Every structure is written in C-alpha cells, then in structure tokens.
Amino acid sequence: MRRNDIDSNDGFSLVEILITVAIVGITFTAILGGLITTITASAYQRKAATADAIVRSAAELVKDSVRNPYANCAGSGAYSLAGLSVPAGFSVTIQGVKYWDGQPVPPGDMVKFTSNCDHGMQQISIQATSSDGQATETLQVIKRSVP
Amino acid sequence: MSVRDEDGQVLLLALGFLLFFGLVIGAMLTFGEASVLSTARLREQRANVYAADGAIDAAIQVGRSDTGVGAYGDPRCQPPPPPATSATPTLLSTTSTDNGVTTVAKVVCNWSADPLQPDRTVTFTSSVGTATPIVRATVVYHDSGGTVPDVNILSWTYCGHDSGACP
C-alpha cells in the first residue's frame, strides 16, 4: 500500500501521537504555570490585604485620643497597640514619630515634621508585616493634641 | 478525501485543546489582574483618605497656634472676589508616605460669616491631586478661653464618592 494513499492511515499514528503528546505537554505546562502564578499572586494579595487591614486598625487605635492620649515628645513606644487583634503570622509596630516644628505655615506651604519635639502635632509611621516578609504595609498618620 | 478519513483530526483536536485551555488561562489571568488592580486602587484610596484626614488635623492644629486662621476676613480662607480667576487659596499642604508612595494633601478653609461671634468657626476641606474634596471638617476655636484655644469638632465628613456630601 502506498503511504500517500488517501484511504490509508498506515504510518501516521506514531507521529500524530507524538505531536499530540507534545502539544498537550506544552499546554499543561502553561496551565500549571498559570495556576502557580495565580495561586502565588492570590496568596500575596491576601497577605497584603490582611496587612493593610491591620495597619489601618493600628492607625485608628493610635489616633484614638481616648485609648491613646496625646503624649508630648512621644517615642515609638509611647502609644500602645494593646487590644489590637493581629492575626497569627503578622506583626505591627510603630516605626517612628516626627513632630511638627511649630513654625507658622505660609499660605500653601508644607507643614514640616522634624525630630525636634513637640508642638502639639505628630506624624506617626506604622508598619504591618507578615512573618514571612512577603507583605509589608506602612502608613503615616497625623495625631494632634486634644482639645 | 473521504469524510470518514481520520487524517488531520488530531490537529483539530489539538487546536481545540489549545483554544479551550488558552481561554481558561486567559480567564484566570484576567481574574488575577483584576485582583491586583483592585488591591492597588484600594491602597491608593486608603493613602488618599489618610493623607486628607491628616491634613485636616494639621490645619486644625495650625489654627490653634495661629489664631488668625479662619478669623473674620482672613484672606487665606476666602475665595477670590468675583469674577474669580483663581481658586480658593490653599491654606497648607502635608505629605505622607505610604508604602513608599508620597501623597500630598492640600487644605482650603472658609471662615464663619458672622463677625460678631467671639469664637472662630472654620470649615476645612482637604483634597489630593484634583480639587475634589475628600474630607471636610467644621470646627470651632474657643479663642476666648486662653492662649491656645480649645477646639470643638462640629462635623467631620468623608466625602467619598458621594459628591452631595461635600457640596
């Protein structure tokens, strides 16, 4: 029988199977790659979102003048984050405090925060981090003396 | 060629598989992209709100230190007379850095229209980037009380997407 006989299937099965296996292999490799990427990105997003929620909660706690009264010349440890619900695998800390320089602010100018305390207003940096270090969220809030 | 011939069918099957899984992968990547974009957008919104919030706090404190802020006729808190060729002047700005991104928030103010009031009633409005307000607060400075006046917050509004909240 001739190989190019249009009524014949002889001799093509092996090549076809090999090509099929190759195509399916490449396809599944791409699918697995996509899945792994998606899962990795999803895990990171979940951690980032959790860290984001934690740092926001911490910020609200720090700004709360009842639970954390304004402390003149406060250092990083002056404001308590006790009572804040932090999920396992995450931590939250106050990174630093800067102080308003107390100078009059010309119209439109920036309010300046320096390391010289204290004129009734502070810029506080808060950071939440996942224990594996993948997700880190930082936030700066301004706290002023009350009333 | 006979229609019952199997020649080329594997190619069609392979193309079908490629198309199907291509669509599946495309859909998955689209979901992933949407998730990343929404997280980034939420982060940006959060940064803007905290920056605007802090700027209002800063303006309130500056107003305690400088009793001229928001006093009757204070030009810093007064829109230009008509025909207005410029916007209400910016009282002050603040910067805050969140996740390495620095956000600048601006505050404009308006004084109380009643010159007979001994205390200042001032409305502060903060925005980021555009003039669209993000936070608006109305406060009363009790100037008659002492050198550093006490402050009462009359209202504190997050304008959000509701343009009617901060007309």
Name the DSSP letter for residue B154.
E
The tokens of B4 are what?
């019952």
Q: What is the predicted pLDDT for the residue at A87?
A: 92
pLDDT tens, position by position, A115-129? 888 888 999 999 999
Averaged pLDDT score across all residues of chain A: 85
Nearest Cα residue to B142 out of B122, B113, B157: B122
Give the Cα separation of B29 and A34 in Å (integer): 7
Give the Cα separation of B76 and A106 in Å (integer): 10
Nearest Cα residue to A126 out of A83, A82, A79, A87: A79
The answer to whether A37 contacts chain B (CB < 8 Å) is yes
Q: What is the predicted pLDDT for the residue at B159?
A: 86
What is the pTM assigned to this prediction? Answer: 0.77
E strands along chain A, which residues? 90-100, 113-114, 121-130, 136-144
The tokens of B43 are what?
């982060």
Averaged pLDDT score across all residues of chain B: 83
Looking at the complex, report in whole angstroms how far the Cα of residue A72 sits from the nearest Cα belonging to chain B: 14
Give the Cα separation of B128 and B49 in Å (integer): 9
pLDDT tens, position by position, A3-18? 455 555 566 688 878 8
Residues of B numbered 62-121 whose beta carbons fall under 8 angstroms of chain A's beta carbons: which are they? 62, 64-66, 76, 89-100, 106
- Which of A12, A37, A107 lies closest to B76 in CB terms? A107
Q: Are A121 and B96 in contact (CB under 8 A)?
A: no
Contact list in A for residue B151 (CB cut-off 8 A) is 146-147
Give the Cα separation of A121 and A87 in Å (integer): 31
Higher pLDDT: B21 or B1? It is B21
Q: What is the predicted pLDDT for the residue at A22?
A: 92
Which backbone phi and psi does B113 adopt, to 5 degrees?
-85, 0
Angle separating helix axes B9-65 and A13-63, nearest 10 degrees:
10
The answer to whether A15 contacts chain B (CB < 8 Å) is no
Q: Does the pLDDT of residue B3 top 60, yes or no?
A: no
Q: Count of residues for chain B?
A: 167
pLDDT tens, position by position, B40-60? 888 888 888 889 999 999 999
* Predicted interface score ipTM higher than 0.90: no
Q: Does the pLDDT of residue A113 top 70, yes or no?
A: yes
